[in-house]
């Protein structure tokens, strides 16, 4: 098979004096040059820090020196630390709050805006526009909304003589406040992914359904949703991986408070490694996060592979 | 003729290149907190016109640049307190030449050999440590050497809205506010205040805050003679003394004697809008609050503004938690010109400490704190006592900002009812000790 592919297809004349043909698919070391720049940065910026992080997590290290080997000491301290366990729970809770909301609202918006009208185009741009903002701007906007006494929410509640919920300081509401800001910020990407999936569904299926007098609900359930199932899984997994890395919103809106109830794992890592200078333990917490995200990424791989097998 | 011109141009360029380095100003990088206010004071060199921490420090540095054409200071402003950034800068070998560091944070950097001892440099420009106040000298001295030029001593204060105090009947015959002398009196007066004015006694920034809680705890532990940091490597906070303090603040919270959901900026605005009687805030807002009280139509202008040290609520030492700001110099190889330029900068700040003390901070120099000019500043007669009352944590205690976060988090949890007081104190103690054991 490979031989047939490498048969010379041009230069038929003068075949007798021709040098033996070169197998263009054979490995050649100079091809390495094409990927070398990428590999260089991939290795120095990702692989080395990854291995270095693992090495650090087994050492008692601070920001200015790497000390003794402590084995699993940092990990043992980590799992005895209530604040770390709290931050793991917080991260899962945040993912639970945001990912379904992002997937469902994103799908809903995509379904509503999947039409060729000018209004839909304007609204698509509008809903996507929040995604281009930096986390600093997003949190600033939402702080202005949530801030007690003078914030937008307080002003609106004030019109009705009511007190606005304290989204920044109430223990039961603080994470929900961060989740609201995050959904508003991140909704653009899921919506766009769903839109592109919706536009790939062949129109003739819908036409056939229309001929069969299928209702809109039946069409949605039997045609639209099954057709975008893989995109739905993709959106969910991508968002899980992204939202696991919550940091900026929590740091800028609540500083992880009240009572560490909005402190996610990344903020715990930052606190431990850079504010307490306990780099070894910070590295250990990073490894735990790495494993959690790895599991989510593997889940995506497994789910999409199984899906591909079935279809 | 043309050739001559070319030659002349080439020779001139050569001379300029040679002369260049000696004419160029020595560059210094300065990093500071205290906020940014370039819109108001970015070009101001008349320090007397500036108010507030940001205005005064910006104007002082502008004046230094204007007075010293041979030195150019470029300023990077960081968010308070800026230590995360500074630590990263030190770790990457990119630290600024001169940087604001709290006395309580000096030992973190000094113990790693990252700061330059300043004794010789200061002596070379005529600044000696015997000119410092005792509090400033002790705060800036680590292992017998000066590691930062002290510019002030600061503490927390009772900032009082006298109009509301009059309404509450909490004013003496001589017009001074009636302040409590025990936790019971504090609660009784707060109740009276709430009854008469319908407003909370305290304006506190309790939303996602740690520093305020911690400073309050330290102050009232000092006042009970609790030696909680007898061993700088091991804290004792799960004590009856600490419980008393936490329960007092919890009662204040539970009974509605304080604002609850405000952050730092919100609390300042609420106090200035007359939404409570006493704001717990630092020396740094005295200048701004006083300026407000002199502006017609403001809540503080109605009945006046007063400011006092924390009241003595317990029978122990007359003390309250204090700290100070310093200019520290990073340890690196420098030319004699650069070192001399740093000396000039430090000397300039030592010479102009009076202007800095207009912020409300107490001066770091004996000559200024005893001067008539300082005493003539508003409210200094009531707050100058802090120079004697102020007490820092022992200087050997490291990671004081990280400790502050832990103590503040646990206190906040206990006061707002998210955690039982005993559990919070136990966690506070074990978390701080875990941190200190792993330095």
Contact status, residue A94 vs residue A102, Cβ threshold 8 Å: no
Residues of B in Cβ contact (< 8 Å) with A276: 399, 402, 435
Pick one of 2.170.150.70, 3.90.180.10, 3.40.47.10, 3.40.190.10 as the CATH number of B155-322+398-437: 3.40.190.10
Lowest mean pLDDT among A199-213, B13-27, B44-58: B13-27
pLDDT at position A66 is 74
Residues of A in Cβ contact (< 8 Å) with B209: 257
Mean pLDDT of A225-231: 91
pLDDT at position A147 is 85
- A7 pLDDT higher than 50: no
Q: Are the beta carbons of A64 and B438 separated by less than 8 Å?
A: no
Digit-coded pLDDT (tens) for B422-433? 999 999 999 999
What's the pTM value of the predicted model, to 2 decimals?
A: 0.84
* Residue pointed to by tokens 């007092």: B248
- Check residue B393 and give left, alpha or beta (phi > 0: left; psi -120 to 50: alpha): beta
- The structure tokens listed for B85 are 């950034």
- The structure tokens listed for A49 are 């820090």
pLDDT at position B6 is 59
Provide the CB-side half-sphere exposure for B79 (13 A, CA). 3
Calpha distance A38→A46 (Å, rounded): 11
Q: Cβ neighbours of residue B88 under 8 Å, at least 6 residues apart? A: A63, A274
- A264 pLDDT higher than 50: yes
Mean pLDDT of B7-30: 63
- DSSP code of A245? T
Q: Are the beta carbons of B266 and A148 separated by less than 8 Å?
A: yes
B434 touches chain A (CB under 8 A): yes
Domain with CATH 3.40.190.10 in chain B: 2-151+324-391, 155-322+398-437
pLDDT at position A300 is 74
Digit-coded pLDDT (tens) for B389-401? 889 999 889 999 9
B206 touches chain A (CB under 8 A): yes
Digit-coded pLDDT (tens) for B60-77? 999 999 999 999 999 999
Question: How many angstroms separate the Cα of B230 from the Cα of each of B218, B234, B237, B397, B409?
Answer: 13, 8, 11, 10, 23
CATH architecture of B2-151+324-391: 3-Layer(aba) Sandwich (3.40)
B83 touches chain A (CB under 8 A): yes
Split at pLDDT 50, 70, 90, the class of A136 is: very high
Mean pLDDT of B195-218: 94
B401 touches chain A (CB under 8 A): yes
* Higher-confidence position of A308 and B162: B162
Residue B208: which of A60, A82, A255 has the nearest Cβ?
A255
* Higher-confidence position of B51 and B117: B117
Residue B435: which of A60, A169, A276 has the nearest Cβ?
A276
* Higher-confidence position of A1 and B268: B268
For chains A and B, CB pairs below 8 A equal 85
pLDDT at position A16 is 56
Q: Are the beta carbons of B266 and A150 separated by less than 8 Å?
A: yes
Question: By C-alpha distance, which of A251, A87, A126, A123 is closest to A181?
Answer: A251
Split at pLDDT 50, 70, 90, the class of A116 is: confident
B109 touches chain A (CB under 8 A): no
Contact status, residue B194 vs residue B205, Cβ threshold 8 Å: no
pLDDT at position B372 is 92
pLDDT at position B72 is 94
What's the fold here for domain A74-310?
MetI-like fold (1.10.3720)
Calpha distance A74→A58 (Å, rounded): 7
When the pLDDT of each residue in chain B is averaged and rounded to a whole number, the result is: 91
Contact status, residue B380 vs residue B309, Cβ threshold 8 Å: no
DSSP 3-state of B329: strand
Domain residue ranges of chain A, discontinuous segments joined by +:
74-310
Q: Are the beta carbons of B402 and A257 separated by less than 8 Å?
A: no
Most A CBs within 10 Å, among B203, B208, B407, B431, to test the A interface: B208
- B8 pLDDT higher than 70: no
Q: Are the beta carbons of A277 and B263 separated by less than 8 Å?
A: no
Calpha distance B146→B140 (Å, rounded): 6
B354 touches chain A (CB under 8 A): no
Calpha distance B309→B360 (Å, rounded): 12
Q: Are the beta carbons of A274 and B427 separated by less than 8 Å?
A: no
- The structure tokens listed for B90 are 């030190």
Q: Which residue of chain B has the CA closest to A171?
A: B418
ipTM reported for the complex, 2 dp: 0.83
- DSSP code of A208? H
B385 touches chain A (CB under 8 A): no
- B181 pLDDT higher than 90: yes
When the pLDDT of each residue in chain A is averaged and rounded to a whole number, the result is: 87
Instruction: Estimate to the nearest angstrom the gap between the alpha carbon of A246 and the chain centroid.
Output: 10
């Amino acid at each position: 098979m490979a031989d047939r592919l490498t048969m010379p297809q041009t230069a038929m004349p003068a075949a007798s004096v021709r040098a033996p043909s070169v197998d263009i698919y054979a490995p050649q070391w100079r091809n390495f040059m094409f990927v070398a720049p990428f590999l260089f940065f991939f290795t120095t910026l990702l692989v080395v820090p990854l291995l270095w992080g693992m090495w650090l997590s087994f050492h008692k290290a601070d920001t200015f020196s790497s000390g003794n080997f402590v084995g699993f000491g940092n990990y043992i301290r980590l799992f005895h630390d209530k604040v770390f366990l709290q931050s793991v729970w917080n991260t899962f809770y945040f993912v639970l709050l945001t990912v379904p909301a992002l997937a469902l609202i994103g799908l809903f918006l995509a379904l509503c805006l999947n039409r060729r009208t000018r209004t839909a185009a304007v609204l698509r741009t509008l809903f996507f526009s929040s995604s281009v903002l930096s986390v600093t701007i997003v949190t600033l906007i939402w702080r202005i909304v949530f801030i007690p006494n003078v914030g937008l929410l307080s002003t609106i509640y004030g019109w009705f003589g009511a007190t606005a919920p304290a989204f920044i300081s109430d223990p039961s509401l603080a994470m929900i406040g961060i989740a609201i800001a995050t959904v508003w910020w991140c909704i653009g990407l899921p919506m766009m992914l769903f839109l592109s999936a919706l536009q790939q569904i062949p129109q003739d299926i819908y036409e056939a359904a229309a001929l069969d007098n299928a209702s809109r609900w039946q069409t949605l359930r039997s045609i639209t949703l099954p057709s975008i199932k893989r995109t739905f899984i993709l959106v969910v997994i991508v968002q899980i991986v992204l939202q696991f890395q919550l940091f900026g919103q929590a740091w800028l809106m609540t500083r992880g408070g009240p009572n560490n109830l909005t402190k996610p794992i990344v903020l715990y890592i930052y606190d431990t490694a850079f504010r307490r200078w306990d780099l070894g333990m910070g590295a250990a917490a990073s490894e735990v996060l790495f494993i959690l995200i790895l599991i989510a990424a593997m889940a995506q791989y497994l789910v999409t592979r199984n899906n591909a097998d079935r279809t | 003729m043309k050739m001559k011109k070319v030659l002349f141009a080439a020779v001139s360029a050569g001379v300029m290149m040679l002369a260049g380095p000696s004419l160029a100003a020595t560059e210094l990088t300065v990093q500071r907190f205290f906020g940014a206010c370039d819109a108001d004071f970015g070009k101001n060199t008349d320090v007397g016109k500036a108010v507030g921490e940001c205005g005064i420090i910006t104007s002082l540095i502008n004046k230094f640049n204007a007075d010293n054409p041979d030195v150019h200071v470029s300023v990077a402003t960081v968010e308070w307190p800026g230590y995360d950034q500074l630590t990263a800068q030190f770790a990457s070998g990119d630290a600024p030449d001169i940087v604001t560091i709290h006395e309580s944070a000096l030992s973190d950097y000094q113990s790693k050999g990252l700061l330059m001892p300043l004794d010789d440099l200061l002596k070379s420009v005529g600044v000696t440590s015997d000119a410092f106040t005792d509090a400033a000298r002790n705060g800036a001295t680590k292992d017998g050497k000066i590691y930062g030029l002290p510019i002030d001593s600061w503490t927390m204060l009772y900032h009082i809205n006298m109009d509301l105090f009059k309404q509450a009947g909490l004013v003496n015959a001589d017009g001074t506010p009636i302040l409590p002398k025990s936790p019971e009196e504090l609660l009784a007066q707060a109740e009276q205040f709430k009854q008469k004015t319908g407003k909370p006694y305290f304006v506190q920034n309790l939303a996602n805050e740690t520093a305020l809680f911690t400073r309050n705890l330290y102050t009232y532990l000092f006042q009970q003679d609790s030696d909680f940091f007898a061993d700088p490597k091991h804290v004792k906070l799960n004590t009856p003394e600490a419980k008393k303090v936490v329960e007092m603040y919890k009662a204040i919270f539970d009974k509605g004697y304080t604002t609850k959901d405000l952050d730092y900026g919100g609390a300042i605005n609420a106090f200035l809008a007359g939404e409570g009687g006493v704001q717990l805030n630092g020396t740094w807002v005295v200048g701004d609050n006083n300026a407000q009280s002199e502006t017609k139509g403001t809540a503080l202008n109605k009945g006046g503004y007063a400011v006092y040290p924390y009241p003595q609520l317990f029978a122990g030492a007359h003390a309250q938690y204090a700290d100070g700001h310093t200019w520290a110099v990073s340890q690196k190889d420098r030319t004699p010109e650069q070192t001399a330029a740093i000396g000039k900068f430090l000397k300039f700040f030592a010479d102009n400490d009076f202007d800095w003390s207009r912020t409300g901070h107490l001066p770091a120099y004996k000559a200024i704190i005893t001067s008539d000019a300082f005493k003539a500043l508003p409210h200094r007669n009531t707050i100058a006592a802090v120079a004697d009352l102020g007490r820092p944590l022992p200087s050997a205690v490291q990671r004081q900002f990280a400790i502050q976060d832990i103590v503040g988090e646990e206190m906040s949890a206990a006061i707002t009812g998210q955690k039982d007081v005993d559990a919070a104190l136990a966690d506070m103690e074990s978390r701080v000790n875990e941190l200190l054991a792993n330095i």
